[in-house]
Structure 1
Amino acid sequence: MFDTKPYEARMSAAVAHFQEELKRVRTGRAHPSMLDSVQVEAYGQKMPLNQVANVTAAEPQLLTITPFNPSNIQVIAAGIRQDQSLGLNPSDDGRVIRVPIPPLTEERRKLLVKQTSEKVEAARITLRNVRQDALKEAKRRKEAKAVSEDDLKTIEKSIDASIASFNAQLDASFKEKEKDILTL
């Protein structure tokens, strides 16, 4: 019999990746995961920010970064400034780095919704590719007489049901994020 579990696992991974991508989209409120993409040159190599400092959202419009080693303050601030996609300007007082999160303009909010919808489409394409792979494998097995015609139809229905379920998850995540972005 044909096992759809590996394909469902790939679909689940695609949805999980999409949800991780959504965390990086700014909503106008400070969230520590906004800085997950920041790499810092510390101890002679590039490291993720969360490995050299503690990041907290002290206020809705302010991130506070406390370095584990105070000598890394300058490289952390530089790392945040270098990540142009964030558009943030950190300031430090010698012990703590404060990153004010500027409010989003209406135009910027609409642009973020558009970018997010592009991420949704990319995730859907990934799901369709997994579906195609699964159907190709099922048809190959049918031609090899490993599965019957009826089994093939059952497999197709199962895969299509999985795709519908994962697409619904994508839609729900997108609607929630869209509401977050557009809320002032």
Structure 2
Amino acid sequence: MAMALRCFRHLHSLLYCSPLAMMRRMPQAAAGCPAPLLEGCRQCVRQVMLTRQLATKKAKGKGQTQAKVNINAALVEDIINLEETNEDMQAVVEALKEDFNRNVSVRTSPGALDHIIVVTKDGKFPLNQLGQISLKSPQLIIVNMTNFPESTAAAMKAIRESGMNLNPEVDGTLIRVPIPKVTREHRESLAKLAKQSTNKSKDALRKVRSKSMNQVKKFKSKVSEDTIWLLEKQIQQMADNAAAEMDKLLAAKTKELLG
């Protein structure tokens, strides 16, 4: 057990070496390391070196992608939380999905108005907390503001400025929201809105990536260059995957809108 532990510590120290240092230190296994364990150390180091070599190869030819980099999160948890970084990036993707479902739809449903934010003198509230929203007919949504009549004008303004191409009309404490006809011009307007939303989401994604990159760079003087390089590649890989997912969402939404 003691010998195995020494071998493990030896291998762990090699993980943070440069490739050249690895080669130099390979034969220097822990004292008294049995042949099977020593060979295991050598095989593990060769595997680490192979992984690094694959990660640095650039894609050649069409349809090929750069080799993926995967780092054991437990080994770098003192530097950065990779799982949290990935969650933050995926949160941006999920926000884009929600935006598409709520604001970039060919047909407007009562649920699409629920989370429109209304600014009142008492604060900001979702529209469905101030008024009762119902579908009067396939072409008309009614917002009943009887419970908060003083917020009717603010609700009207919020609906009109929601970016959903809606022109509400007020009738006492009732707000009538005609559903626009699905014209080619309206579809093109929604497709343009989807593109703008995607670009904003990519800006948010870049901020998450930059924040993570800066966190890693703080440890340049404390860990090896290889470790920093691999972490940066991992973060960039996460960002690329999230951006690719956004592009797929946009392509699907554009096809839905324009055919």
> Within the alignment, does 1:171 sit opposite 2:250 as a pair?
no
- Cα pair 1:29 1:60 within 8 Å, conserved: no
- TM-score, normalisation: structure 1: 0.73
The structure whose residues are more often strand, as a share, is: 1
Which segments of 5 or more consecutive residues in structure 1 lack a partner in the other structure? none
Superposition RMSD in Å: 3.0
Q: Is the 8 A contact 1:30 1:60 kept in 2?
A: no
1:173 positional shift: 2.5
1:62-96 Cα offsets, whole Å, 9 max, x none, are 32334463x73x843x344323334322455x786
2:157 aligned partner: 82
Q: Does 1:37 align with 2:116?
A: yes
* Structure 2 unaligned blocks of 5 or more: 1-75
Q: Does 1:11 align with 2:89?
A: yes
Higher relative contact order (CA 8 A, sep 6+): 1
Name 1:120's counterpart in structure 2: 198
Letter in 1 for 2:167: L
- Superposed, which structure 2 residues align to 1:1-184 within 5 Å? 1=76, 2=79, 3-35=81-113, 36-39=115-118, 41=120, 45-46=122-123, 47-57=125-135, 59-67=137-145, 69=147, 72=149, 75-76=151-152, 78-83=153-158, 84-85=160-161, 86-90=165-169, 92=171, 97-142=175-220, 144-145=221-222, 147-182=223-258
In the TM superposition, what is the alpha-carbon distance from 1:29 to its structure 2 partner? 1.1
TM-score by length of 2: 0.55
Aligned length: 175
Matched-pair contact (CA < 8 Å) for 1:120–1:170: yes
**C-alpha distance in 2 between matches for 1:26 and 1:137:** 35
Q: 1:40 to 1:119 in 2, by over 3 A?
A: closer
Deviation at 1:50, TM superposition (A): 0.9
Q: CA separation in 2, counterparts of 1:57 and 1:119?
A: 27
CA contact (8 A) 1:30 1:59 kept: no
Say if 1:22 and 1:116, in contact at 8 Å, map to a contact too. yes
Compute the displacement of 1:120 (Å): 0.8
SS of the aligned residue for 1:141 comes to: coil
Per the TM alignment, residue 167 of structure 1 is displaced from its structure 2 partner at its CA by: 1.4
Identity %: 29
